[in-house]
Structure formats: structure tokens, C-alpha cells
Structure 1
Amino acid sequence: MTIQRGSASENHSKPRPKSRRRKVNHPKSGRWLWFWLGGIAMLSATIGALLANSLSSTPLMQANLSADEAAVFGGDRISGGGLRFSELTRPVNILVMGMSVLPPDVQNAPEETKNLGYLPQINSFDGLTDVMLLIRFDPQTKKLVMLSIPRDTRVEIEGHGIKKINSANVQGGPALSAKTVSNLLDGVGIDRYVRINILGVAKLIDALGGVTVYVPRDMKYQDDSQHLYINLKKGKQHLNGDQTLQLLRFRHDENGDIGRIQRQQMVMRALMDQALNPTTMAQLPNILNVVKEHIDTNLTVEELVALVGFGARINRSNMLQLMLPGRFSEKGEYSASYWIPDRDRIASTMAQYFDMQSSDQQQAVDPTYLRVAIQDSTGSDNANLRPLIRSLQKAGYRNVYIAKSWGEPLEVTHIVAQQGDGNSAESIRNTLGFGEVRVESTGNLYSDISIQVGKDWLEQKDLFE
């Protein structure tokens, strides 16, 4: 399908409903902002000193990279020097891998894992990559971009042929994983890597005090061979580390691993909101001491502090969560099921969010070609959504359809840029006059934009009749 691009102002003629907001003056807001930023900077420096002291005898790097493997990652300094060591000096791309490692994945499994009658998770980094994220920390745009790469992505792994991308770590560790990701993403540079195994994820979440999230459905699954038991009820709740792993590992719904990526993004956002505050940051040395044996990274302590400091300063609206553009393989298309990368859309994503080439600022896509999914979270019947659909159609959005709801009751409507097209999502928000734009992949899988309708729609509905 050919996508035509045009100006948002050319395509939206419907006047916006009158705003109910009133202007509020905050004469001291700028002073408080600088006070807060200064406090974060001082806290980052304090944390850095504590980290340097607590981790000096036990570095976080577990792997023994050869010179050639180390050369895969950019060697240039990424954090400042002297009193500015806790600040990023340039955009940085970090490959984050979550590992699920069983005894058969390693050559010499620990004796305590043998003759148990089941396969336990072990503290190693040699297995398949269950989670793969490329995260860009950009001090120039003040954005944090997280690109999720499905574990079943069909790629060529150098020296090993066509395989699923999650096996790159088994074949050649973090260096081969980084090479494979770079080749997939049009040659993007990867500066550092972080590997954390599944045991460390549970400990990390427990050290953070758990996480409050909405479980989108009842989840029940049992695998006696791994002692994997998932039993979660639908609804908003506070999960400990083991329960969070159950949510993250569940794959038995209509979207399989892609549904799991959506839940990962939901948990990531909740953890970021919860963890990146001064109170939690002050506990960072203690938290890292709890999980450091389960982490392998070539980040230095100073670089780690700079990344955390950047995350603490970032506006949450500038935290973007994308997913590798692609599609499910069709039945019988290949001998195994894959996520098939979309090369054209990958190029567009990398240009827009990873500065891969100079290009004009992305324009909103012509509304005629946008797939807009409506996902109700209010429990209303479809009749209550008709004024919303009619309003969009009058504004030129021809491909509007009702899709299955995520399930979480929302106070504020989320206008989700499912494919990363934030400008088009913003255009829809301007057309409607309400809602919150989110660049993430938690909407309808087959949409370009998903409108997750919240209670604010019920307050606005009469204006659209």
C-alpha cells in the first residue's frame, strides 16, 4: 500500500471543541524547576560516589570479551569528566537483553541443578534472549526511545545462517547479538550492552518494592518441566518480582510473543515512573548490590550513573516505546513461525528516532490511509462511540474501526502511535480536542493509531453530537 503524506492542517477542517482549561500562572515554577534539576544533579553525583565505592571490588562485567568482540561496541566516552561525570555527552544506544537460561544452555551446569526432575533457571548469560531492546538516550532531543525486537524475528546471523534473533546470544554472546541487531537496523551503532538474567529481573523488582500494573486478563499456565506456574487475575494490582515475571512470560494469547512485548512496555513504563525519582535513586547502590551478580554489562559505573541521571530528568512524554515493524509469518510460509521485518518501515523508524540519516521532519500521514482502531475502556456499548467515529470520518479518517479493548479502565483517553507515527497521533488529538498522545506499541496490532477511549470521552461526548 502506498502511503501519501500531507500537511495535517490540510486534512482537518473540523473545529476543535471549546477547551475547558483555564490558564494558571506559576510565577515560581521556573525557580522550582531549577531547584529540582540541581537536586537531581547533586543526587546523581552522590550516587556515583557510592556506586564507585560499592562496586569497585566487583565489576558488573561478567563476560570475557575478546579484543574483536569489544571493538563491536563504540569505545568513545559517553559521560562527562570531573564534576560533570554524571552527564551524558552525546546520544547513546544501549542493547538490553533479558536472558532465560536453563541447564542445557550451558556446557557445565552447576551440580545443584542436576537430578531435580525439572529444568531450573540458572544464574548464567549463555542462553536464548527472551527480551531484546535497543534503547537510545539522547541528550540533544531530551528523548528516551526504546525499540522492542521480538525474539522470533527472522534474521541472518553472521556465520550461522537464517535463524531467530534470540539465538544470536547462544551462537556468539553479546558481540554477535549486537552485530545482528545492527545489521537488522540499517547499520545503527551500538555503544554498550546490558544482559540481565531472569533471576535478576525478579530480584530487581523486589528490590524496587514491586510494581503496580493492570493485568489485562486472567492468566493461567503450567509447565512442570520448568516449574513455571502462572496464575494471575485480571485487574490493577501490586505485583512482586515472581508475579511480574509471570505477567512478562505469559505468551498464550492471540498475539503470542507480540502480546508479551505489549505487556513488557506496560511494565517498563510503570517501573520508570516508579523508579526514576530521588527517593528510589538514593537506594540505587543497595539495589545494584542485590542484583549485580545477575547483570553483565560493559558500562562503567560513571556511564551507568549518567544514564540514570538522564532518565530521572526526562519528561515522561518524551519516553517513547516502539516495536520493530513487521508481521507474523503465514502458516506454511516457513518451517518455523517468525516475525518478518518490514525493511521500508524499519528504515523510516531508524531515520526518525535513531538519527540514521538526514531527513525532513516527518509529516502526518494523509488521514485517508491511516488505520485508526477504537478501543473502548469505559464499558460503554458501541452506540456511545458513534459520535467519535463520525467526527473522525468528517475529518477525513476513512479507515476507522472498533477493535478489542486492552481492558484497563482509563480516566484519560490514550491516542497510541502504534507504528511510531507520533505526528499523526498528535493530529488526531488536535482534531478531537482531548486525550493524551503516547508513542508506544500497546494498541491494536494492526492499526497505525489506536484510540483507547477513557472516561474523558464520556464528558466530551455531548460536544460531538
Structure 2
Amino acid sequence: MTIQRTSAEDNKSAKAKAKAKGKNSRKSKSGRWLWFAVGMGGIAMVSGMAGALLAVSWDSKPLQQAELSAKEAAVFDSDRISGNGFQFSQLTRPVNILVMGMSVLSSDVQNPPSETKELRYLPQVNSFDGLADVMLLIKFDPETKKIVMLSIPRDTRTEVEGHGIKKINATNVDGGPALTAKTVSNLLGGVGIDRYVRINVLGVAKLIDALGGVTVYVPKDMKYQDDSQHLYINLKAGKQHLEGNKVLQLLRFRHDELGDIGRIQRQQMVLRALIEQSLNPKTLTELPQILNTVKEHIDTNLSVEELVSLVGFGARTNRSNMQMLMLPGRFSEKNEYDASYWIPYKRAITKLMVQNFGLESASFDSEIINPARLRVAIQDSTGGDRSQIRPLIAALEQAGYRNIFISQPWGEPLETTHIVAQQGDSDSAESIRNTLGFGEVRVESTGNIGSDISIQVGKDWLLQKAMFENTAR
């Protein structure tokens, strides 16, 4: 049957369309004005930042304190990383940033401040000439919408151009950020490094305070005293809000069985907590004040607008897309070398760089790991005895996982089980999560260092336990 429309209906329809068109037009104009306002706000913010940083232009580098030669500057990729015009705060390509944390004592510099010469201890000084005791390569990738952080242990044994085999933290002393970047690139299979950031201990404390401190779980009591440099660490285990000096104590403590590797794990815990608590649009608006507070303690070849684009990208990135890895390797054996080292595993590094940093390598073939070969560590955070996690182990064994071991309990009580991809193998971690049917996958290196996957059992397991027991019968 054909339905004929009357002229009245046509008029009514035409009016409705016109009304809708007008409404959409208003929405469109409103949207354009909204984006215009955001753009103007961004421009005002960057202008304010420029004013706060000595009235410099957007593309200048007001925080760069090192004077690099043309040859040294050429180590870093100088291509633009952020957009133009209203897109100035948009990251336009993947970018690798080498971040170095410096601990510089008065004895490390040729001309220490005069006020330190009469002291009977070695204080921290505002310099960048010391050892790079913290080293991170961070990839910001707008294509995958991920941020990947790779921690490089300070004692990593590697070849340093012109200086032979050394610990990697000494490269900054030997040749500053350029030699360090070149050494890191060579260690990691030739990956490109776009920019660098150096921040000293004095700056870290101020940065944490400028961000309002951080709430974090201290995994155990920590006590250490070094009168020679007035380093005093005294922290109690438990969840607590820490200000800058206390965070430094947590970050610098390494006097336990894992040494620097344990410190890296705690650094990753603090980084994740800072990201979750502080990396947001509000921080972006406060960036000028934050940078003004710490600018004398930072050295970087990032421009003002590049800093804005990186912080903006971080604020928009889903927290599940933030991955924290550690350079694969092992502790050197006693008497194996003239000093203690972290010995890098070259094949594992190649795999990690191909999978996470886009490195092209003809020597690496992607492979699906057999579950039977995976080293799976169980770390219980619920405080129960081992018998309560036997059904979980049985379920994993039934699914083909054969190399399962119970590790030290996880100190922080967890509501949700963490399935930690210790070596960066997120696919295997996802497979385990699918097998269990619960838990949250995390790509980080906070688990058992001898594992491929660490399952940090949370309270959600207690809700699932009865079902697993019934299935096993």
C-alpha cells in the first residue's frame, strides 16, 4: 500500500528538518567555539609557560643547561614531534626520551660550591656531572596510544665508545647525555633516541612536592644510614602519603637481597602511583609553575611545546596502556668480573625492543611461547597459607602450565589480582587471565625477577576459590 503525504505533513517535516538543521548548526558552531576556546586556552598556557621560563619562544629549549657540540647534538633525532597551530599540543609521531636521574655529591664535581668545602660530609649539589644512577628509556607512541618505559639497571655491563667495558651509569661522567644516549642505543640494538632529560636528586624531591606528594605502599621497613653523605632512610611498611624527601628515601634504598633491581621495582611502583594520581589535565595547567620550581635542577633538549605535547599525551593515555619493563639480564657471579654487574641478555633484549619499541631485526622471529615453558610465579597478598592457592595452581596445570612455583608473598594487600608480565610478554599474561577468568594484566617488572609471569594473588581470588575447587572435583 502506498502512503501519500499531505502538504501539511510536508510542511511539518520541512519545519522539523529546518529546526534540526538549525540545532545542528548551533551545535557545530558551539563545537567550533569550544575547540577555539581550548586552543586559545592552550596558547595562553604555553605563553604563560614561556613567561615563567624567562619569556622564551615555544620552540626554544629554556631547560637545556648542557652545551652540546654539533656532533653531540646530532646523536638525537631533531625532527619535529608535535603539531602546528591549534595542534601544537598533539604528539605527531612516536618519540623515545632518555631520562637520567643524577646523584651528584660535592666530591663528584671539580669546583664544588664554596659553602660545601667546610662540611664534614659530602652533600648533594646542583649539578649534572655525576653518575646516572637511574636510567629510563620512555616511548610515547600516538600510533598505538601507549607509553612504554624501560628501566636500565645502573650496573649494566656494556661497551662505551672510547672507554671500553664499563657500568652504564658512568657514561654520563665520561661524555654527558650524548655519549649516554649513544651507549644506550647500541645496547638496545640501535634504537633511535629523540630527546634526553636529566634531573638530579635535589630536583626529584622538589618535583614530588610540586605535584603534592604521592600515596604509595612501602613494601617493608627500610632503615639505612650513611653519615658520609648525610643519607638517612627510615620508612615503615604500609600504605602512606609521602612528601618529596620521603619518596627519595624509598627511591634510593637498595640495601636488600635484590640491590639495584629491587630499587628499580620500587621506582616503577612510585612511577605508576605518580602517573595515576598526578598525570591529568589539571597538571597540564600547572606545568608552568611546576617547571619553574624545578627548572634549575633539570637539563633537557625538549622545547616548551614538546613538553606540553608529552604531558598532554600522558594525561590522555589510558592507564592500562602504560607499560614498565626492565632490561633483561642477570646478576654477575661472585668473582666472575672485577666488579658486580647486571649482565644483559642480548636475545631477550632484541625480542623486547622488537615487540615494544618498533625495532626492526632480521635475527628475531616472533614466536608463540608454549605455556609449558613459561615460568609462572605465584605471590600471595591475601595472608593465607599455601593450601588456599592450590586450586589456582591446579587450574593452571590443567591448562598446560608446568613451570609454576610459589614465590615470596606480595606485601601489599590487593583487592584485584595482578597478572604481571615481568618480561613484557603481555600476550602470555592475557592468556593466563583468560584461563583464570579474573585478574588484571599489568606490564611491569615488579614481580619475581626469575619469572616470565608473576601472579600477585588478590582478594578477588577468595571469591573464585570455591568455584575452582568444585571444578577440580
Same fold (TM over 0.5): yes
Letter in 1 for 2:271: M
Q: Provide the C-alpha distance between the structure 1 equivalents of 2:155 and 2:361, rounded to a whole number of angstroms.
A: 31
Relative contact order higher in (CA < 8 Å, ≥ 6 apart): 1
Answer yes or no: is the 8 Å Cα contact 1:182–1:188 preserved in 2: yes
1:253 aligns with 2:256: yes
Structure 1 residues 232-381: aligned runs within 5 Å: 232-357=235-360, 364-381=368-385
- Report the more deviating stretch, 406-415 or 270-279: 270-279
Letter in 2 for 1:78: I
What is residue 18 of structure 1 aligned with on the other side? none
| Higher Rg of the two aligned structures | 2
What is residue 397 of structure 1 aligned with on the other side? 401
**Length, aligned pairs only:** 431
Shift of 1:312: 0.7
Answer yes or no: is the 8 Å Cα contact 2:136–2:152 preserved in 1: yes
Q: Provide the C-alpha distance between the structure 2 equivalents of 1:74 and 1:45, rounded to a whole number of angstroms.
A: 26
Q: Provide the C-alpha distance between the structure 1 equivalents of 2:74 and 2:207, rounded to a whole number of angstroms.
A: 30
Q: Secondary structure at the match of 2:412?
A: coil
Shift of 1:42: 7.1
What is residue 145 of structure 1 aligned with on the other side? 148
Q: Secondary structure at the match of 2:127?
A: coil
Of 389, 392, 395, which aligns to 1:388? 392
1:440 aligns with 2:444: yes
What is residue 460 of structure 1 aligned with on the other side? 464
Please list the CA deviations of residues 207-241 of structure 1 after superposition, one character each: whole Å capped at 9, or x if unmatched: 11110000000000000000000000000000010
Answer yes or no: is the 8 Å Cα contact 2:423–2:445 preserved in 1: yes
What is residue 74 of structure 2 aligned with on the other side? 71
Q: Where in structure 1 are there 5+ consecutive unaligned residues?
A: 1-33
Letter in 2 for 1:444: N
Please list the CA deviations of residues 333-373 of structure 1 after superposition, one character each: whole Å capped at 9, or x if unmatched: 10100000000000001100110117999554111100000
Q: Where in structure 2 are there 5+ consecutive unaligned residues?
A: 1-30, 57-61
Please list the CA deviations of residues 123-180 of structure 1 after superposition, one character each: whole Å capped at 9, or x if unmatched: 0000001100000000000000000000000011110110000000000000000000
Letter in 2 for 1:207: A
Shift of 1:323: 0.2
Q: Provide the C-alpha distance between the structure 1 equivalents of 2:369 and 2:416, rounded to a whole number of angstroms.
A: 24
Q: Secondary structure at the match of 1:283?
A: helix
| RMSD of equivalent CA atoms | 1.8
Of 405, 409, 412, which aligns to 1:408? 412
Q: Secondary structure at the match of 1:282?
A: helix
Q: Provide the C-alpha distance between the structure 2 equivalents of 1:289 and 1:392, rounded to a whole number of angstroms.
A: 52
Check 1:109–1:231 CA distance in 2 against 1; reply closer, same or farther (3 A cut). Answer: same
Q: Provide the C-alpha distance between the structure 2 equivalents of 1:85 and 1:286, rounded to a whole number of angstroms.
A: 20
Q: Quick one: percent identity of the two aligned structures?
A: 73
Of 98, 103, 128, which aligns to 1:100? 103
Letter in 2 for 1:196: I
Answer yes or no: is the 8 Å Cα contact 1:41–1:309 preserved in 2: no
Of 101, 104, 121, which aligns to 2:124? 121
Answer yes or no: is the 8 Å Cα contact 1:128–1:169 preserved in 2: yes
Please list the CA deviations of residues 88-115 of structure 1 after superposition, one character each: whole Å capped at 9, or x if unmatched: 1110000000000011211111101112
Shift of 1:41: 7.2
Structure 1 residues 146-161: aligned runs within 5 Å: 146-161=149-164
What is residue 167 of structure 2 aligned with on the other side? 164
Q: Provide the C-alpha distance between the structure 2 equivalents of 1:83 and 1:208, rounded to a whole number of angstroms.
A: 27
Letter in 1 for 2:446: T
Letter in 2 for 1:434: F
Letter in 1 for 2:50: A
Answer yes or no: is the 8 Å Cα contact 1:362–1:423 preserved in 2: no
Shift of 1:279: 2.3
What is residue 11 of structure 2 aligned with on the other side? none
Please list the CA deviations of residues 380-437 of structure 1 after superposition, one character each: whole Å capped at 9, or x if unmatched: 1100000000000000000111000230000000000000000000000000000000
What is residue 224 of structure 1 aligned with on the other side? 227
Shift of 1:47: 3.1
1:110 aligns with 2:108: no
Of 53, 56, 68, which aligns to 2:51? 53
Q: Provide the C-alpha distance between the structure 2 equivalents of 1:464 and 1:45, rounded to a whole number of angstroms.
A: 57
Q: Secondary structure at the match of 1:288?
A: helix
Answer yes or no: is the 8 Å Cα contact 2:221–2:237 preserved in 1: yes
What is residue 30 of structure 1 aligned with on the other side? none
Q: Secondary structure at the match of 1:245?
A: helix
Answer yes or no: is the 8 Å Cα contact 1:414–1:451 preserved in 2: yes
Please list the CA deviations of residues 251-308 of structure 1 after superposition, one character each: whole Å capped at 9, or x if unmatched: 0111000000000000000011111112232211111110010000000001110101
Answer yes or no: is the 8 Å Cα contact 2:350–2:361 preserved in 1: no
Which stretches of structure 1, 4 residues or more, deviate above 4 A after TM superposition?
37-46, 358-364
What is residue 417 of structure 1 aligned with on the other side? 421
Letter in 2 for 1:414: H
Q: Provide the C-alpha distance between the structure 1 equivalents of 2:38 and 2:384, rounded to a whole number of angstroms.
A: 44
Q: Provide the C-alpha distance between the structure 1 equivalents of 2:385 and 2:110, rounded to a whole number of angstroms.
A: 57
